[in-house]
Structure 1
Amino acid sequence: MKSIVPILSVLLTIIAVWYAAAVWMNAPWVYDQAARAEQTVPRPWQVAQATMNQDRPVLPTPHQVISELLRSTFGLPVSSKKSLVYHAWVTISGTLLGFVMGTTLGVLLAVGIVYSRSMEMSVLPWAIASQMVPIIALAPMLAVVMHAVGATPLMTKAVISAYLSFFPVVVGMVKGLRSPEVMQLDLLQTYAAPGGAVFWKLRLPSSMPYFFASVKVGIAASLVGAIVAELNQQAGLGARLLQGSYYGQTTQIWAALFLSAILAAVLVMLAGRIERRVLARMGMAR
């Protein structure tokens, strides 16, 4: 019970601030409508009431966002192009494919960097430099290139997701593979253990906590990459966000944002659950 009180306190504070901001940002429309109708200036409580359920609010209220989220998620057929379930599935498919691609690439690069000094000097700086380019600027260029080579929208989205997700895995795995102590490595050398045994029996198990920590970051980054890629596509949560901005449907935008945040939280929690099970099987439960 004590752990719930702080969470509820923060949640109620956010909701209160949100409602206050909605009243403040939507109030100019109320005053403008009153002036156009040559009515008296509305009183504060009338302004607050009028800003609660506007059709095209600057900032929708929490209950408007929740209502739109429920309607778009449960109130429409899954196959409908207006259903957030449909768009979420399109986004998740690209996210997971890109995450698998990025994670695989990240692990392979990390192994090469740990075992090859020349690869560390040549590849790691480029991997770091690649993250300096804003994805919002890079995504359209990648989309054009992928389209030119005949790639499907799913593969285009997966490549952009992989681009964002591979770097945390590279950094985490390099740290993890180098985490064994010198005494442990010397002990295996004393027993004349081959390089493969050192990797599978010592380096890889030691890297698992670092790997899963980077996976949690990578899966969230992969979702961001998929959403950004969908700004140039016809379906997905990114496309839904862009459509809402075109037609001034701010409630639609916020509902898609909320669902994106929920999906990110679910993916990270799923990664955490897998981490606990894997580490427990390896005797490293935390």
Structure 2
Amino acid sequence: MTTRVGVTVGERLLPLGVTLLAVLVLWYAGTLWLNGPQAAEMLNRAGTDWGAMDFARRAFTMPRPLLPTPDQILVELHKSVTGYPLTNVRNLLYHAGVTAGAALTGLGLGVLLGIVLAAGIVHVKVLEHSLLPWVIASQTIPILAIAPMVVVILGNAGLTGLMPKALICMYLCFFPITVGMVKGLRAADPLWLDLMRTYSAGAATTFWKLRTPASLPYLFASLKVSVAISVVGAIVAELPTGGQAGIGTRLLSGSYYGQTIQIWSALVMAALLSMALIGVVRVAETVVVRQAGAR
């Protein structure tokens, strides 16, 4: 039994380790290739003899590289997170918190809208043919095209700050929620539906007692996708707002001043934020689905 567990863990970790090693090798090779010309120019200007090790050291330690090394990104992350107070604008956790607030607000609005649309589509046949095609068509519009328009329109209406970003996140994440909930609400066992009709249960009772528990696994599967999309939407929405906080603002300021290490550290923080929120959704799924008795 112990041997089998060890083999199982090894089988899981080996592909991950090999993939990570391959990514690191390719990353450092790409850094050497992209930063090489600038590193060679800097060494030539220094007027001293240099060899391969000097060349590699210079390419891997440039203050403004075209492609920073993973260790440069980790150092920047550590310095940003631990070197400043949590409320300081130089702290990446502060920016991550601002982005997370917009993403979660938009996710909540998207969940509410998606569930309402899904309930209407499932219970009203006309909506399935009239509304669902428009829901699908809404996702063909690039978010980069509509985000500035949404910010400008809502700004003229007096809505600034969190709400424009939350609405953009809602626009991105309501679609998977709607599709997942339509599938989930229809996943109830037909025999149980017949049993509810036998007991003369109304549509509301059937919805809450049968369809809703059956839809929970589909809802949380959609939430795992939507929460990551919502983070992306929040970052995109922060670009045209001209705000002073958020991962998108951090990316924009790094782009203005050519701080590639800052840009990459913000990207890594965005990935970590998405992973953390997905982890929260998974924990909530375990608790809620188990208590609801859904399969």
Q: Quick one: which of 235, 248, 273 aligns to 1:238? A: 248
In the TM superposition, residue 278 of structure 1 has moved relative to its aligned partner by: 1.1
Further displaced range: 214-223 or 190-199: 190-199
Residue of 29, 39, 53 corresponding to 1:45: 53
Question: What is the aligned partner in structure 1 of residue 28 from structure 2?
Answer: 19
Is contact 2:224–2:281 with CA below 8 Å preserved after alignment?
Answer: yes
| Conserved? CA contact 2:28–2:69, under 8 Å | yes
Match of 1:275 in 2: 285
Q: Deviations over 1:59-93 (max 9, x none)?
A: 00011000001111111122222111221111111
Q: 2:257 aligns with which of 243, 247, 266?
A: 247
CA RMSD after TM alignment: 1.5
Give SS of 1:131's match: helix
- 2:234 is matched with 226
Aligned residues: 284
Deviation at 1:180, TM superposition (A): 1.8
Deviation at 1:16, TM superposition (A): 1.7
TM-score (norm. length: structure 1): 0.95
- In the alignment, is residue 183 of structure 1 matched against residue 209 of structure 2? no
**1:107 CA drift (Å):** 0.5
TM-fit CA distance, 1:8: 2.2
Letter in 1 for 2:34: M
Equivalent residue letter for 1:266: A
Structure 2 counterparts to residues 1-286 of structure 1, below 5 A: 1-2=9-10, 3-36=12-45, 42-232=50-240, 233-234=242-243, 235-284=245-294
CA distances 1:128-154 after superposition (whole Å, capped 9, x unpaired): 111101111111111111101110211
Greater shift, 176-185 or 88-97, is seen at 176-185
User: Which stretch has the larger CA shift, 149-158 or 1-10?
Assistant: 1-10
The C-alpha deviation readout for 1:16-68, integer Å capped at 9, x for no partner, is 2111111111001022224445666x433322111111010000001100000
Counterpart amino acid of residue 138 in structure 1:
I
State the 1:11 CA deviation: 1.6
Residues 90-123 of structure 1 deviation map (CA, whole Å, 9 limit, x = unaligned): 1111111111111101101100111112222222
Percent identity among equivalent residues?
46
* Deviation of 1:4 (Å): 2.7
Gaps of at least 5 residues in structure 2 are 1-8
In structure 1, runs of 5+ residues without a counterpart are none
Work out the CA distance in 2 between the residues paired with 1:175 and 1:92: 28
Q: TM-score, normalised by structure 2?
A: 0.92
Distance in 2 between residues matched to 1:182 and 1:6, nearest whole Å = 42
The whole-number CA distance in structure 2 between the counterparts of 1:195 and 1:62 is 56
Q: What is the alpha-carbon distance in structure 2 between the residues aligned to residue 122 and residue 153 of structure 1? A: 34
Which stretch has the larger CA shift, 69-78 or 176-185? 176-185
For each residue in 1:131-186, what CA deviation from the matched residue of structure 2 results, as whole angstroms up to 9, or x when unmatched?
10111111111111110111021111100111111111000000000112333222
Structure 1 CA distance for aligned equivalents of residues 190 and 113 of structure 2: 27
Q: Counterpart of 1:106 in 2: which secondary structure?
A: helix
Report deviation, 1:127: 1.0
